[in-house]
Amino acid sequence: MGLGNRLWRGHLAPHAIIAGGIFITLVMISLCATVLYDARLDAMDRARDTSRNLALIAQRDIERNFELCALSLQAVVDGMRDPAVLALPPRLRRQVLFDRAATAKYLGSMLVLDASGNIVVDSAGDVPRQGNFSDRKYFIVQRDSPNAGLYISDPFSSRLRNGSPSIALSRRLSHPDGSFAGIVLIAMNLEYFHTLFAGLSLGPHGAVSLIGRNGIMIMRQPYDVRTIGRDIGKAATFRRFRTAAEGSFSETASIDGVRRLYYFRNFPDLPLIIMVAEAEQDIYAGWRRRATTIGSLMIAFALAFVALAFLLGAQLRRRMRAESELELLARTDGLTGLNNRRTLGEILDQEWRRARRTHSMFSLLFVDIDRFKAYNDTYGHQAGDDALAAVARCIGNNIRRPADSAARYGGEEFVVVLPDTPPAGAALIAEQIRAAISELAIEHAGSEYGRVTASIGAASWAPEQDSDVTAVIKATDEALYNAKATGRNKVSPFWQDKKG
Protein backbone atom coordinates (compact mmCIF):
# COMPACT_ATOMS: atom_id res chain seq x y z
CA MET A 1 0.00 0.00 0.00
CA GLY A 2 2.85 2.40 0.86
CA LEU A 3 4.60 1.64 -2.43
CA GLY A 4 1.39 2.15 -4.39
CA ASN A 5 0.84 5.51 -2.66
CA ARG A 6 4.37 6.63 -3.56
CA LEU A 7 3.87 5.52 -7.19
CA TRP A 8 0.59 7.39 -7.34
CA ARG A 9 2.21 10.53 -5.99
CA GLY A 10 5.15 10.17 -8.37
CA HIS A 11 2.76 9.84 -11.29
CA LEU A 12 0.62 12.77 -10.19
CA ALA A 13 3.42 15.20 -9.25
CA PRO A 14 4.68 15.95 -12.82
CA HIS A 15 1.15 16.66 -14.01
CA ALA A 16 0.46 18.85 -11.00
CA ILE A 17 3.71 20.75 -11.48
CA ILE A 18 3.04 21.30 -15.18
CA ALA A 19 -0.53 22.44 -14.44
CA GLY A 20 0.73 24.75 -11.69
CA GLY A 21 3.40 26.17 -13.99
CA ILE A 22 0.85 26.86 -16.71
CA PHE A 23 -1.52 28.42 -14.20
CA ILE A 24 1.13 30.70 -12.73
CA THR A 25 2.26 31.64 -16.22
CA LEU A 26 -1.29 32.61 -17.11
CA VAL A 27 -1.52 34.62 -13.89
CA MET A 28 1.72 36.44 -14.70
CA ILE A 29 0.52 37.16 -18.22
CA SER A 30 -2.77 38.42 -16.78
CA LEU A 31 -0.94 40.64 -14.31
CA CYS A 32 1.26 41.94 -17.12
CA ALA A 33 -1.83 42.63 -19.19
CA THR A 34 -3.39 44.43 -16.21
CA VAL A 35 -0.28 46.56 -15.70
CA LEU A 36 -0.15 47.41 -19.39
CA TYR A 37 -3.84 48.25 -19.36
CA ASP A 38 -3.34 50.50 -16.33
CA ALA A 39 -0.40 52.12 -18.12
CA ARG A 40 -2.69 52.72 -21.09
CA LEU A 41 -5.22 54.39 -18.81
CA ASP A 42 -2.42 56.42 -17.24
CA ALA A 43 -1.33 57.58 -20.69
CA MET A 44 -4.87 58.77 -21.35
CA ASP A 45 -5.04 60.49 -17.95
CA ARG A 46 -1.73 62.25 -18.57
CA ALA A 47 -2.94 63.38 -21.99
CA ARG A 48 -6.14 64.70 -20.43
CA ASP A 49 -4.16 66.65 -17.82
CA THR A 50 -1.81 67.99 -20.48
CA SER A 51 -4.72 69.11 -22.66
CA ARG A 52 -6.37 70.79 -19.69
CA ASN A 53 -3.18 72.68 -18.80
CA LEU A 54 -2.63 73.79 -22.40
CA ALA A 55 -6.24 74.94 -22.66
CA LEU A 56 -5.87 76.97 -19.47
CA ILE A 57 -2.68 78.60 -20.73
CA ALA A 58 -4.32 79.56 -24.04
CA GLN A 59 -7.54 80.70 -22.36
CA ARG A 60 -5.74 83.00 -19.92
CA ASP A 61 -3.64 84.54 -22.68
CA ILE A 62 -6.71 85.18 -24.83
CA GLU A 63 -8.73 86.55 -21.90
CA ARG A 64 -5.89 88.91 -20.96
CA ASN A 65 -5.61 90.30 -24.50
CA PHE A 66 -9.36 90.59 -24.92
CA GLU A 67 -9.59 92.40 -21.59
CA LEU A 68 -6.98 94.91 -22.77
CA CYS A 69 -8.93 95.40 -26.00
CA ALA A 70 -12.19 95.84 -24.09
CA LEU A 71 -10.58 98.46 -21.84
CA SER A 72 -9.19 100.28 -24.87
CA LEU A 73 -12.62 100.28 -26.51
CA GLN A 74 -14.25 101.60 -23.36
CA ALA A 75 -11.62 104.33 -23.14
CA VAL A 76 -12.51 105.43 -26.69
CA VAL A 77 -16.24 105.33 -25.89
CA ASP A 78 -15.64 107.52 -22.84
CA GLY A 79 -13.41 109.86 -24.85
CA MET A 80 -16.00 110.27 -27.59
CA ARG A 81 -18.47 111.43 -24.94
CA ASP A 82 -16.07 114.10 -23.65
CA PRO A 83 -16.44 117.43 -25.50
CA ALA A 84 -12.94 118.45 -24.41
CA VAL A 85 -11.45 115.43 -26.14
CA LEU A 86 -13.50 115.97 -29.28
CA ALA A 87 -12.34 119.57 -29.41
CA LEU A 88 -8.66 118.59 -29.53
CA PRO A 89 -6.69 118.78 -32.79
CA PRO A 90 -6.84 115.49 -34.76
CA ARG A 91 -3.34 114.41 -33.83
CA LEU A 92 -3.83 115.01 -30.08
CA ARG A 93 -7.31 113.55 -30.14
CA ARG A 94 -6.01 110.39 -31.80
CA GLN A 95 -3.28 110.03 -29.18
CA VAL A 96 -5.73 110.56 -26.33
CA LEU A 97 -8.33 108.19 -27.70
CA PHE A 98 -6.11 105.34 -28.77
CA ASP A 99 -3.16 105.84 -26.42
CA ARG A 100 -0.81 102.89 -27.07
CA ALA A 101 -3.41 100.27 -27.95
CA ALA A 102 -3.08 100.90 -31.68
CA THR A 103 0.59 99.88 -31.61
CA ALA A 104 -0.01 96.55 -29.83
CA LYS A 105 1.16 93.46 -31.68
CA TYR A 106 -1.48 91.65 -33.77
CA LEU A 107 -3.95 94.55 -33.51
CA GLY A 108 -5.08 95.91 -36.82
CA SER A 109 -7.37 98.86 -37.36
CA MET A 110 -8.88 100.71 -34.42
CA LEU A 111 -11.70 102.83 -35.77
CA VAL A 112 -14.61 105.01 -34.78
CA LEU A 113 -17.54 104.71 -37.18
CA ASP A 114 -20.45 107.10 -37.34
CA ALA A 115 -24.10 106.09 -37.44
CA SER A 116 -23.83 105.49 -41.20
CA GLY A 117 -20.83 103.19 -40.89
CA ASN A 118 -18.25 105.66 -42.19
CA ILE A 119 -14.81 106.06 -40.57
CA VAL A 120 -14.61 109.29 -38.59
CA VAL A 121 -11.57 108.58 -36.37
CA ASP A 122 -8.73 106.27 -37.39
CA SER A 123 -5.88 105.06 -35.21
CA ALA A 124 -3.71 104.76 -38.33
CA GLY A 125 -3.50 108.49 -39.00
CA ASP A 126 -4.83 111.95 -38.38
CA VAL A 127 -6.80 111.81 -41.61
CA PRO A 128 -9.24 108.88 -41.49
CA ARG A 129 -9.10 106.39 -44.30
CA GLN A 130 -12.11 106.10 -46.53
CA GLY A 131 -14.43 103.21 -45.87
CA ASN A 132 -17.96 102.25 -44.99
CA PHE A 133 -18.68 99.19 -42.87
CA SER A 134 -22.42 99.44 -42.33
CA ASP A 135 -22.80 96.00 -43.92
CA ARG A 136 -20.59 94.28 -41.33
CA LYS A 137 -22.35 92.22 -38.70
CA TYR A 138 -20.39 93.88 -35.89
CA PHE A 139 -21.93 97.21 -37.00
CA ILE A 140 -25.44 95.85 -37.50
CA VAL A 141 -25.53 94.12 -34.11
CA GLN A 142 -24.48 97.29 -32.26
CA ARG A 143 -26.91 99.41 -34.29
CA ASP A 144 -29.88 97.16 -33.66
CA SER A 145 -29.09 96.07 -30.07
CA PRO A 146 -28.52 98.92 -27.60
CA ASN A 147 -27.45 96.43 -24.92
CA ALA A 148 -25.13 94.33 -27.04
CA GLY A 149 -22.08 95.39 -24.95
CA LEU A 150 -18.75 93.99 -26.12
CA TYR A 151 -19.40 92.11 -29.35
CA ILE A 152 -16.90 89.63 -30.83
CA SER A 153 -17.42 89.08 -34.53
CA ASP A 154 -16.97 86.03 -36.70
CA PRO A 155 -13.77 85.95 -38.84
CA PHE A 156 -13.72 88.22 -41.88
CA SER A 157 -11.27 89.49 -44.51
CA SER A 158 -10.13 93.03 -43.71
CA ARG A 159 -10.88 95.63 -46.38
CA LEU A 160 -8.24 97.99 -45.01
CA ARG A 161 -5.42 95.46 -44.72
CA ASN A 162 -5.47 93.59 -48.04
CA GLY A 163 -7.87 90.84 -46.92
CA SER A 164 -5.98 89.92 -43.75
CA PRO A 165 -8.15 87.43 -41.78
CA SER A 166 -9.38 89.16 -38.63
CA ILE A 167 -12.05 89.37 -36.00
CA ALA A 168 -13.50 92.59 -34.61
CA LEU A 169 -14.32 93.62 -31.06
CA SER A 170 -16.83 96.45 -31.02
CA ARG A 171 -18.80 98.66 -28.66
CA ARG A 172 -21.76 100.95 -29.35
CA LEU A 173 -21.63 104.74 -29.29
CA SER A 174 -24.85 106.43 -28.22
CA HIS A 175 -26.12 110.01 -28.24
CA PRO A 176 -27.22 111.52 -24.89
CA ASP A 177 -30.80 110.50 -25.72
CA GLY A 178 -29.69 106.89 -26.22
CA SER A 179 -29.97 106.87 -30.00
CA PHE A 180 -27.32 105.16 -32.09
CA ALA A 181 -24.24 107.29 -32.80
CA GLY A 182 -21.91 104.68 -34.27
CA ILE A 183 -19.42 102.15 -33.00
CA VAL A 184 -15.85 101.78 -31.82
CA LEU A 185 -14.01 98.70 -33.06
CA ILE A 186 -10.66 96.97 -32.82
CA ALA A 187 -9.67 94.49 -35.52
CA MET A 188 -7.50 91.66 -34.21
CA ASN A 189 -5.40 89.67 -36.68
CA LEU A 190 -6.05 85.95 -36.56
CA GLU A 191 -2.27 85.56 -36.76
CA TYR A 192 -2.31 86.13 -32.98
CA PHE A 193 -4.27 82.92 -32.41
CA HIS A 194 -2.22 81.10 -35.05
CA THR A 195 1.03 82.01 -33.30
CA LEU A 196 -0.39 81.20 -29.85
CA PHE A 197 -1.66 77.77 -30.87
CA ALA A 198 1.47 76.92 -32.85
CA GLY A 199 3.42 77.15 -29.59
CA LEU A 200 1.35 74.40 -27.95
CA SER A 201 2.91 70.96 -28.33
CA LEU A 202 0.23 68.35 -29.05
CA GLY A 203 2.03 65.77 -31.15
CA PRO A 204 1.96 65.36 -34.93
CA HIS A 205 -1.79 64.75 -35.11
CA GLY A 206 -3.01 67.01 -32.29
CA ALA A 207 -5.35 69.94 -32.78
CA VAL A 208 -6.35 73.06 -30.90
CA SER A 209 -9.24 75.30 -31.86
CA LEU A 210 -10.95 78.50 -30.81
CA ILE A 211 -14.64 78.40 -31.64
CA GLY A 212 -17.43 80.88 -31.14
CA ARG A 213 -20.42 79.64 -29.19
CA ASN A 214 -22.41 80.00 -32.39
CA GLY A 215 -20.29 77.21 -33.88
CA ILE A 216 -18.08 79.39 -36.12
CA MET A 217 -14.43 78.28 -36.26
CA ILE A 218 -12.16 81.23 -35.43
CA MET A 219 -8.81 79.44 -35.51
CA ARG A 220 -7.59 75.88 -35.72
CA GLN A 221 -4.12 74.39 -35.45
CA PRO A 222 -3.00 72.68 -37.66
CA TYR A 223 -3.87 75.72 -39.72
CA ASP A 224 -5.96 75.46 -42.87
CA VAL A 225 -7.44 78.65 -44.25
CA ARG A 226 -10.47 76.68 -45.46
CA THR A 227 -11.50 75.88 -41.88
CA ILE A 228 -11.52 79.53 -40.72
CA GLY A 229 -15.09 80.78 -40.53
CA ARG A 230 -16.47 77.27 -41.03
CA ASP A 231 -19.72 76.53 -39.21
CA ILE A 232 -19.36 73.34 -37.15
CA GLY A 233 -22.49 73.94 -35.11
CA LYS A 234 -24.05 70.66 -36.27
CA ALA A 235 -20.95 68.52 -35.60
CA ALA A 236 -21.21 65.91 -32.85
CA THR A 237 -18.09 67.26 -31.17
CA PHE A 238 -19.44 70.81 -30.98
CA ARG A 239 -22.72 69.62 -29.48
CA ARG A 240 -20.67 68.04 -26.70
CA PHE A 241 -18.90 71.37 -26.13
CA ARG A 242 -22.22 73.02 -25.26
CA THR A 243 -23.27 70.45 -22.67
CA ALA A 244 -20.98 71.63 -19.86
CA ALA A 245 -18.62 74.40 -18.83
CA GLU A 246 -15.68 72.06 -19.42
CA GLY A 247 -15.07 68.38 -19.98
CA SER A 248 -13.30 65.74 -22.00
CA PHE A 249 -14.35 62.92 -24.30
CA SER A 250 -13.07 60.85 -27.20
CA GLU A 251 -14.56 61.43 -30.64
CA THR A 252 -13.67 61.29 -34.33
CA ALA A 253 -13.23 64.77 -35.79
CA SER A 254 -15.61 65.80 -38.55
CA ILE A 255 -12.90 67.94 -40.17
CA ASP A 256 -10.17 65.33 -40.74
CA GLY A 257 -11.57 61.99 -39.50
CA VAL A 258 -8.89 61.57 -36.79
CA ARG A 259 -10.00 60.12 -33.46
CA ARG A 260 -8.86 62.35 -30.62
CA LEU A 261 -9.21 62.91 -26.90
CA TYR A 262 -10.95 66.27 -26.66
CA TYR A 263 -10.71 68.66 -23.75
CA PHE A 264 -12.84 71.79 -23.94
CA ARG A 265 -13.53 74.86 -21.83
CA ASN A 266 -16.23 77.47 -22.29
CA PHE A 267 -14.87 80.93 -21.49
CA PRO A 268 -16.83 82.22 -18.49
CA ASP A 269 -17.06 85.84 -19.69
CA LEU A 270 -16.60 85.57 -23.46
CA PRO A 271 -18.70 83.75 -26.12
CA LEU A 272 -15.77 81.50 -26.95
CA ILE A 273 -14.81 77.85 -26.54
CA ILE A 274 -11.21 76.61 -26.42
CA MET A 275 -10.70 73.01 -27.52
CA VAL A 276 -7.48 71.01 -27.18
CA ALA A 277 -7.41 67.57 -28.77
CA GLU A 278 -4.59 65.04 -28.77
CA ALA A 279 -4.80 62.20 -31.28
CA GLU A 280 -5.16 58.78 -29.67
CA GLN A 281 -2.43 57.41 -31.95
CA ASP A 282 -0.04 59.99 -30.46
CA ILE A 283 -1.23 59.38 -26.89
CA TYR A 284 -0.56 55.65 -27.14
CA ALA A 285 2.58 55.77 -29.29
CA GLY A 286 4.99 55.47 -26.35
CA TRP A 287 2.74 52.98 -24.61
CA ARG A 288 2.69 50.74 -27.69
CA ARG A 289 6.47 50.64 -27.80
CA ARG A 290 6.67 49.71 -24.13
CA ALA A 291 3.85 47.20 -24.45
CA THR A 292 5.59 45.48 -27.36
CA THR A 293 8.85 45.24 -25.45
CA ILE A 294 7.31 44.16 -22.16
CA GLY A 295 4.89 41.76 -23.85
CA SER A 296 7.67 40.07 -25.79
CA LEU A 297 9.80 39.70 -22.67
CA MET A 298 6.85 38.36 -20.71
CA ILE A 299 6.07 35.72 -23.34
CA ALA A 300 9.70 34.62 -23.40
CA PHE A 301 9.77 34.51 -19.61
CA ALA A 302 6.49 32.57 -19.49
CA LEU A 303 7.81 29.92 -21.86
CA ALA A 304 10.99 29.63 -19.80
CA PHE A 305 8.98 29.36 -16.62
CA VAL A 306 6.89 26.50 -17.99
CA ALA A 307 10.10 24.69 -18.93
CA LEU A 308 11.55 25.23 -15.46
CA ALA A 309 8.31 24.06 -13.83
CA PHE A 310 9.53 20.46 -14.17
CA LEU A 311 12.55 21.31 -11.98
CA LEU A 312 10.86 23.72 -9.58
CA GLY A 313 7.59 21.87 -9.09
CA ALA A 314 8.21 20.71 -5.55
CA GLN A 315 9.45 24.07 -4.30
CA LEU A 316 6.65 25.89 -6.09
CA ARG A 317 4.03 23.57 -4.62
CA ARG A 318 5.34 24.18 -1.09
CA ARG A 319 5.42 27.91 -1.68
CA MET A 320 1.85 27.93 -2.99
CA ARG A 321 0.73 25.89 0.00
CA ALA A 322 2.43 28.35 2.36
CA GLU A 323 0.90 31.33 0.60
CA SER A 324 -2.51 29.65 0.74
CA GLU A 325 -2.14 29.10 4.47
CA LEU A 326 -1.06 32.71 4.99
CA GLU A 327 -4.07 33.88 3.02
CA LEU A 328 -6.37 31.75 5.16
CA LEU A 329 -4.81 33.27 8.28
CA ALA A 330 -5.41 36.80 7.07
CA ARG A 331 -8.09 38.39 9.21
CA THR A 332 -8.58 41.81 7.69
CA ASP A 333 -9.97 43.11 4.44
CA GLY A 334 -7.10 44.51 2.38
CA LEU A 335 -9.07 47.43 0.90
CA THR A 336 -10.87 48.80 3.95
CA GLY A 337 -8.70 47.63 6.84
CA LEU A 338 -11.80 46.27 8.63
CA ASN A 339 -12.28 42.69 9.70
CA ASN A 340 -12.99 40.30 6.88
CA ARG A 341 -15.96 37.99 6.65
CA ARG A 342 -14.18 35.04 8.20
CA THR A 343 -13.20 37.09 11.25
CA LEU A 344 -16.74 38.46 11.43
CA GLY A 345 -18.09 34.93 11.80
CA GLU A 346 -15.80 34.31 14.77
CA ILE A 347 -16.77 37.62 16.40
CA LEU A 348 -20.49 36.99 15.94
CA ASP A 349 -20.25 33.53 17.43
CA GLN A 350 -18.19 34.74 20.38
CA GLU A 351 -20.33 37.78 21.22
CA TRP A 352 -23.60 35.91 20.75
CA ARG A 353 -22.53 33.21 23.20
CA ARG A 354 -21.41 35.86 25.67
CA ALA A 355 -24.73 37.71 25.36
CA ARG A 356 -26.57 34.46 26.08
CA ARG A 357 -24.48 33.85 29.17
CA THR A 358 -24.86 37.37 30.55
CA HIS A 359 -28.47 37.90 29.34
CA SER A 360 -27.37 41.20 27.79
CA MET A 361 -28.73 43.01 24.77
CA PHE A 362 -26.95 42.27 21.49
CA SER A 363 -27.16 44.78 18.60
CA LEU A 364 -26.16 44.42 15.00
CA LEU A 365 -25.97 46.94 12.13
CA PHE A 366 -25.94 46.20 8.41
CA VAL A 367 -24.52 49.17 6.44
CA ASP A 368 -25.04 49.10 2.68
CA ILE A 369 -23.86 51.82 0.25
CA ASP A 370 -26.80 53.02 -1.84
CA ARG A 371 -26.65 52.40 -5.62
CA PHE A 372 -23.03 51.35 -5.47
CA LYS A 373 -23.14 49.48 -8.78
CA ALA A 374 -24.25 52.66 -10.53
CA TYR A 375 -21.41 54.51 -8.80
CA ASN A 376 -18.87 51.97 -10.05
CA ASP A 377 -20.31 52.08 -13.58
CA THR A 378 -20.14 55.89 -13.64
CA TYR A 379 -16.87 56.66 -11.90
CA GLY A 380 -14.87 53.45 -12.30
CA HIS A 381 -13.67 50.78 -9.93
CA GLN A 382 -10.80 52.84 -8.56
CA ALA A 383 -13.23 55.52 -7.44
CA GLY A 384 -15.45 52.72 -6.07
CA ASP A 385 -12.56 51.36 -4.02
CA ASP A 386 -11.82 54.86 -2.72
CA ALA A 387 -15.48 55.27 -1.72
CA LEU A 388 -15.47 51.91 0.09
CA ALA A 389 -12.35 52.90 2.03
CA ALA A 390 -13.87 56.27 2.96
CA VAL A 391 -17.10 54.62 4.18
CA ALA A 392 -15.05 52.13 6.19
CA ARG A 393 -13.25 55.03 7.90
CA CYS A 394 -16.59 56.61 8.78
CA ILE A 395 -17.75 53.37 10.36
CA GLY A 396 -14.50 52.92 12.29
CA ASN A 397 -14.57 56.50 13.55
CA ASN A 398 -18.05 56.08 15.01
CA ILE A 399 -17.57 52.90 17.03
CA ARG A 400 -15.46 53.80 20.04
CA ARG A 401 -15.82 51.03 22.61
CA PRO A 402 -13.17 48.30 22.60
CA ALA A 403 -15.83 45.58 22.40
CA ASP A 404 -17.48 47.09 19.31
CA SER A 405 -16.25 45.83 15.98
CA ALA A 406 -16.88 46.27 12.26
CA ALA A 407 -16.28 44.08 9.23
CA ARG A 408 -16.66 44.20 5.50
CA TYR A 409 -19.37 41.65 4.82
CA GLY A 410 -18.91 41.64 1.06
CA GLY A 411 -19.00 44.09 -1.84
CA GLU A 412 -20.46 47.35 -0.55
CA GLU A 413 -21.98 45.88 2.64
CA PHE A 414 -20.53 46.25 6.13
CA VAL A 415 -21.53 44.78 9.49
CA VAL A 416 -21.14 46.44 12.89
CA VAL A 417 -21.33 44.29 16.03
CA LEU A 418 -22.39 46.18 19.19
CA PRO A 419 -22.33 44.02 22.35
CA ASP A 420 -24.20 45.27 25.45
CA THR A 421 -25.99 47.90 23.36
CA PRO A 422 -29.72 48.64 23.70
CA PRO A 423 -31.88 49.64 20.73
CA ALA A 424 -31.59 53.36 21.41
CA GLY A 425 -27.81 53.18 21.53
CA ALA A 426 -27.66 51.12 18.35
CA ALA A 427 -29.95 53.56 16.55
CA LEU A 428 -27.80 56.49 17.71
CA ILE A 429 -24.58 54.90 16.44
CA ALA A 430 -26.28 53.92 13.18
CA GLU A 431 -27.47 57.49 12.63
CA GLN A 432 -23.98 58.83 13.35
CA ILE A 433 -22.52 56.47 10.77
CA ARG A 434 -25.18 57.35 8.20
CA ALA A 435 -24.66 61.09 8.71
CA ALA A 436 -20.88 60.78 8.56
CA ILE A 437 -21.08 58.92 5.24
CA SER A 438 -23.43 61.52 3.81
CA GLU A 439 -21.20 64.35 5.05
CA LEU A 440 -18.31 62.94 3.03
CA ALA A 441 -20.12 64.62 0.12
CA ILE A 442 -18.70 62.17 -2.41
CA GLU A 443 -20.35 63.02 -5.73
CA HIS A 444 -22.74 60.32 -7.01
CA ALA A 445 -24.69 61.35 -10.10
CA GLY A 446 -26.65 58.09 -10.07
CA SER A 447 -28.09 58.68 -6.59
CA GLU A 448 -31.26 60.55 -5.84
CA TYR A 449 -29.28 62.45 -3.21
CA GLY A 450 -26.43 63.45 -5.56
CA ARG A 451 -23.84 62.01 -3.19
CA VAL A 452 -22.72 58.69 -1.77
CA THR A 453 -25.13 57.63 0.99
CA ALA A 454 -25.80 54.47 2.95
CA SER A 455 -28.85 52.63 4.22
CA ILE A 456 -28.55 50.96 7.61
CA GLY A 457 -30.53 48.16 9.15
CA ALA A 458 -30.34 47.90 12.94
CA ALA A 459 -31.51 45.01 15.09
CA SER A 460 -31.26 44.53 18.85
CA TRP A 461 -31.79 41.13 20.42
CA ALA A 462 -31.83 39.56 23.85
CA PRO A 463 -30.70 36.00 23.02
CA GLU A 464 -32.27 33.02 24.72
CA GLN A 465 -30.28 29.94 25.64
CA ASP A 466 -31.54 27.97 22.66
CA SER A 467 -31.54 30.83 20.12
CA ASP A 468 -29.23 31.20 17.16
CA VAL A 469 -27.36 34.24 15.85
CA THR A 470 -28.95 33.76 12.43
CA ALA A 471 -32.18 35.19 13.87
CA VAL A 472 -30.64 38.58 14.55
CA ILE A 473 -28.80 38.49 11.21
CA LYS A 474 -32.09 37.87 9.45
CA ALA A 475 -33.81 40.65 11.38
CA THR A 476 -31.00 43.08 10.61
CA ASP A 477 -31.15 42.15 6.94
CA GLU A 478 -34.91 42.74 6.90
CA ALA A 479 -34.38 46.13 8.53
CA LEU A 480 -31.81 46.99 5.88
CA TYR A 481 -34.24 45.91 3.15
CA ASN A 482 -36.86 48.18 4.69
CA ALA A 483 -34.43 51.11 4.70
CA LYS A 484 -33.73 50.50 1.02
CA ALA A 485 -37.39 50.10 0.14
CA THR A 486 -38.50 53.28 1.92
CA GLY A 487 -36.14 55.77 0.35
CA ARG A 488 -32.53 54.89 1.20
CA ASN A 489 -30.09 57.06 3.15
CA LYS A 490 -31.82 56.19 6.40
CA VAL A 491 -31.68 53.96 9.45
CA SER A 492 -34.35 51.31 9.81
CA PRO A 493 -34.50 49.79 13.32
CA PHE A 494 -35.75 46.38 14.36
CA TRP A 495 -35.59 45.03 17.87
CA GLN A 496 -36.88 42.12 19.86
CA ASP A 497 -37.40 41.91 23.56
CA LYS A 498 -37.22 38.78 25.58
CA LYS A 499 -40.93 38.20 25.29
CA GLY A 500 -41.02 38.73 21.51
User: Can you give the pLDDT at residue 319?
Assistant: 64
The residue type at 387 = A
- Which residue segments constitute the domains of the chain, with CATH numbers given? 81-189 (3.30.450.20), 341-496 (3.30.70.270)
- Distance (Å, whole) CA 245 – CA 266: 5
What one-character DSSP code corresponds to residue 63?
H
- What residues have CB less than 8 Å from 436, skipping those under 6 apart? 394, 397, 398
Q: Is 184 exposed, middle or buried (0-12, 13-18, 19+ CB in 10 A)?
A: buried
C-alpha to C-alpha distances, 148 to 118, 143, 144, 169, nearest whole angstrom: 20, 9, 9, 12
- Distance (Å, whole) CA 162 – CA 102: 18
Find the DSSP H helices in 81-156. Answer: 83-86, 90-98, 137-144
What does the pLDDT profile of the chain (500 residues) look like in tens digits? 444 444 334 444 556 666 777 788 788 888 888 888 888 889 888 888 888 999 999 999 999 989 988 888 888 888 888 888 888 887 887 777 877 554 567 777 789 999 999 999 888 888 888 999 999 999 999 999 999 999 999 999 988 888 889 999 999 999 989 899 999 999 999 999 998 988 887 778 888 999 999 999 999 988 888 889 999 888 888 888 888 999 999 888 776 778 888 899 999 999 999 999 888 888 888 888 888 888 888 888 878 877 776 676 566 556 656 666 666 566 788 888 899 988 898 899 899 989 888 888 889 999 999 999 999 999 999 999 999 999 999 999 999 888 899 999 988 999 999 999 999 999 999 999 999 999 999 999 999 999 999 999 999 988 775 577 888 899 999 999 999 999 999 999 985 543 33
User: Can you give the pLDDT at residue 40?
Assistant: 86
- Distance (Å, whole) CA 147 – CA 253: 36
How crowded is the C-beta side of 370, counted as CA atoms within 13 Å? 29
What one-character DSSP code corresponds to residue 412?
T
User: Can you give the pLDDT at residue 499?
Assistant: 36
Beta carbons of 490 and 395 less than 8 angstroms apart = no
The helix or strand, by DSSP H or E, that contains position 381, with its residue range, turns out to be helix 381-397
User: Can you give the pLDDT at residue 8?
Assistant: 39
